[in-house]
Amino acid sequence: MDQTAYEESPFSEARFADNPDPRCPCVLMLDRSASMAGPKIQQLNAGLQQFKSELLRDEIAARRVEIAVVPFGPVSRNSAFYPAGHFDPKPMVAAGDTPMGAAVAYGIDLVAQQKALYRSHGVTYFRPWMILMTDGEPTDSIERSISLVRDGEAAKAFSFFAVGVDQASMSTLSRLSVRPPLQMRGIAFREFFLWLSASLSGVSRSAPGTSIQIAAPTTWTIDT
Amino acid sequence: MDDRHLNSSLWRIIGASVIGRSHELAGTRCQDACRFAVVRHPGGDIVVGAVADGAGSAPASHIGANTVTATATALIEEHLLASNTEASFGRDDLTRVLEHSRDAVFEEARQHELKPGDLASTLLVAVFFPDRTLAAHIGDGAIVIDDGLLRVLSWPEQGEYANTTVFLTMDGALENARLYEAGPVARFALFSDGLQNIALSYATQDVFAPFIDSMLKPLGNPDVETAKLDAALAAYLGSETVNRRTDDDKTLVLGSRIHA
CA angle B102, B103, B108 (to 5 degrees): 100
User: Of A153, A213, A152, nearest to A179 (Cα)?
Assistant: A153
Q: How far is CA B110 from CA A101, B147, B168, in A?
A: 51, 42, 16
User: Are B197 and A17 an interchain contact pair (Cβ–Cβ within 8 Å)?
Assistant: yes
Query: How do beta strands B250-257 and B187-191 pair?
Result: antiparallel
CA–CA distance, A99 with A23 (Å, rounded to integer): 29
Whole-number Å distance between alpha carbons of B247 and A208 = 13
**For chain B, what percentages of helix, strand and coil (3-state, to nearest 5) are there?**
35, 30, 35
User: What number of C-beta contacts closer than 8 Å exist between A and B?
Assistant: 109
Pairwise CB contact (< 8 Å): A20 & B199: no
Mean pLDDT computed over A85-90: 92
Q: What ipTM did this prediction achieve?
A: 0.86
Tell me the nearest-neighbour CA distance from A22 into chain B, angstroms: 7
Residues 45-74 of chain A whose Cβ lies under 8 A from any Cβ of chain B: none
Q: Is the peptide bond before B184 cis (omega within 30 degrees of 0)?
A: no
Residue A110 and residue A78: Cα distance in Å, rounded? 10
Judge: B55–A209 Cβ closer than 8 Å, yes or no: yes
Residue B248: which of A12, A207, A212 has the nearest Cβ?
Answer: A207
Q: Tell me what pLDDT residue B213 has.
A: 97
Q: What is the pLDDT of residue B83?
A: 79
Q: Stretch A4-12: mean pLDDT, rounded?
A: 70
Nearest residue on chain B to A21, alpha-carbon basis: B197
Q: Quick check: A60 pLDDT over 90?
A: no
Chain B CB within 8 Å of residue A154 CB: no
For strands B123-128 and B46-53, give the pairing.
antiparallel
**Contacts for A113-116 with beta carbons within 8 Å, 24 or more apart?**
A114/A25, A114/A66, A114/A68, A114/A81, A115/A25
3-state helix, strand, coil in chain A (%, to 5): 40, 15, 45
- How far, CA to CA in Å, does B228 sit from each of A220, B91, B216, B218, B241? 56, 35, 14, 11, 20
Beta bridge partners of B94: none
In the prediction, which pLDDT does B163 show? Answer: 81
Question: Which residues in chain A (81-140) have CB-CB distances under 8 A to chain B?
Answer: 121-127
Strand (E) positions, B106-244? 123-128, 133-138, 142-146, 150-154, 178-182, 187-191, 200-201, 206-207
The confidence score (pLDDT) of residue B28 equals: 86
What are the φ and ψ backbone dihedral angles of B44, each rounded to 5 degrees?
125, 160
CA angle B124-B52-B150, nearest 5°?
Answer: 40
HSE value, Cβ hemisphere, 13 Å, CA-based, for B206: 8
Q: How many beta carbons lie within 10 A of that of residue B147, not counting itself?
A: 15
Supply the pLDDT for residue B168. Answer: 95
Please compute the mean of the pLDDT values over residues A24-51 and round it to a whole number: 96
Q: Specify the range with the lowest mean pLDDT, choosing from A31-40, A148-157, B5-14, B172-181.
A: B5-14
Predicted confidence (pLDDT) at residue A213 exceeds the cutoff of 80:
no
Q: What is the pLDDT along chain B (260 residues), one digit of tens a residue?
A: 444 444 456 899 999 999 998 888 888 899 999 999 999 888 889 999 999 999 988 899 999 999 999 999 999 999 998 877 656 899 999 999 999 999 999 999 999 999 999 999 999 999 999 999 999 999 999 999 999 999 999 999 988 898 889 999 999 999 999 999 999 999 999 999 999 999 999 888 899 999 999 999 999 988 889 999 999 999 999 999 999 888 899 999 999 998 65
Q: Distance between CA atoms of B233 and B243, rounded to whole angstroms? A: 14
CB neighbourhood size of A203 (10 A): 23
Running DSSP on this structure, what letter comes out for residue B3? G
3-state secondary structure of B84: coil
User: Contact A10/B22, CB-based, under 8 Å?
Assistant: no
Cβ partners under 8 Å of residue B245, min gap 6: A16, B197, B198
Domains identified in chain A and CATH numbers: 30-204 (3.40.50.410)
Is the distance from CB of B233 to CB of B4 less than 8 angstroms?
Answer: no
Write the CA distances from B38 to A107, B4, B181, B188, B218, integer angstroms: 56, 8, 19, 14, 19
Question: Residue B61 and residue A209: Cβ atoms within 8 Å?
Answer: yes
Contact list in B for residue A214 (CB cut-off 8 A) is: none
Instruction: State percent of chain A over pLDDT 70.
Output: 94
Rounded to 5°, the CA angle B219-B221-B226 comes to 55
Interface contact A1-B238, CB threshold 8 A: yes
| Residue A175 C-beta-side C-alpha neighbours within 13 Å | 13
pLDDT of residue B53: 96
Q: What mean pLDDT comes out for the span A51-76? A: 94
Looking at per-residue confidence, does B207 or A2 come out higher? B207
Q: How many angstroms separate the Cα of B51 from the Cα of each of A85, B4, B59, B188? A: 38, 15, 19, 13
Confidence at A224, pLDDT banded by 50, 70, 90: low
Mean pLDDT of A30-48: 96
Task: Say how far apart CA B32 and CA B224 lie, in whole Å.
Answer: 27
- Mean pLDDT is lowest, of A89-98, A203-212, B118-127, B194-203, for A203-212
How sure is the predictor about A210, in pLDDT bands with cuts at 50, 70 and 90? low
Query: What is the spatial distance between Cα A161 and Cα A180, in angstroms, rounded to a whole number?
Result: 8
Of the candidates A17, A19, A126, the beta carbon closest to that of B163 is on A126
* DSSP H/E element including A57: helix A39-57
- Confidence tier at A1 by pLDDT (50, 70, 90): very low
B119-133 burial string, b = 16+ CB within 10 Å, else e? bbbbbbbbbbbeebb
Q: Which CATH number fits domain B2-257: 3.40.50.1820, 2.60.40.1180, 3.60.40.10, 3.30.70.2740?
A: 3.60.40.10
How does residue A4 score in pLDDT terms, banded at 50, 70 and 90? very low
DSSP string, A111-153: HHHHHHHHHHTT--BPPPEEEEEESS--SS--HHHHHHHHHHH
Q: Domain segments of chain B: what residues?
A: 2-257
**pLDDT band, residue A5 (cuts 50/70/90):** very low
Neighboring chain A residues of B158 at a CB cutoff of 8 Å: 124, 208
Nearest to B56 among A10, A121, A209 (CB): A209
Distance from CA of B90 to the nearest CA of A (A): 31
